[in-house]
Amino acid sequence: MAHNVDREVQRFQDFLQGQGQKLTAERTALVREIFSTHYHFEADELLFKMKEKNVKISRATVYRTLELLVKSGLVRRVHLGEDHYHYEHVSGNSHHDHLICTACGGVIEFHDEELERLQMAICEKKKFTPTFHNLQILGVCDSCKRKGQHPESPDRVRMIQQTKLRK
């Protein structure tokens, strides 16, 4: 919990209404779940969590709702070094990038103004109009390094999965 989710539900409803769409029970449940528990998650993980809670929501609805959430700007789709998407919610707070530990699979977020500025400068030089960016740095985090975990080779990152779900 730790966070009042109603604000996001409201924002989503506003977005939907602007499109002549409706905030249904399923959509509300998904938004609540996303904003109260998860931070980074996979679509199937979300599906699984809902099933666990005995809230029956179909795969199709989960994907459809995620798409709407991405369009509304409440959720962002990110690559985290694996070969499928991850999602993260955006609680009004600013953009960030990811350090991904290839030993434990953990994700550290960071934001750096200098980095953002530099990217803008690069785009300007190339006459490129950026809308979005995505930076992942793969490596080994401090605690894994202490434990002497040897880094997996980058191309094996995708194999390091803490959670395997899908019923």
Partner DNA sequence: CAGCAATTGAGACTCAGTCTCAGCATCGGG
Partner DNA sequence: CCCGATGCTGAGACTGAGTCTCAATTGCTG
Cα-based torsion angle of the residue sequence 137, 122, 134, 37 in order, rounded to the nearest 10 degrees: 100
The reply on whether position 46 binds a second copy by CB under 8 A is no
Minimum distance from residue 136 beta carbon to DNA (Å): 16
Kindly tell me which residue out of 22, 125, 127, 146 binds DNA, with binding defined by CB under 7 A. Answer: 22
Q: State which of residues 70, 104, 160, 165 lies at the interface with a second copy (CB under 8 A).
A: 70
Angle at 90 between CA 106 and CA 68, to 5 degrees: 110
Indicate the residue among 99 and 165 with the shorter CB distance to DNA: 165
The answer to whether 36 touches 89, Cβ cutoff 8 Å, is no
Report the distance separating Cα 139 and Cα 157, nearest Å.
10
Assess 152 for contact with DNA (CB under 7 A): no
Measured between alpha carbons, how far is residue 11 from residues 73, 137, 163 in Å? 10, 32, 31
Residue whose CB is less far from a second copy, 54 or 94: 94
Nearer to a second copy, 19 or 115 (CB): 115
List residues binding DNA (CB under 7 A): 16, 20-22, 24-27, 42-44, 56-61, 63-65, 67, 83-85, 158, 164-166
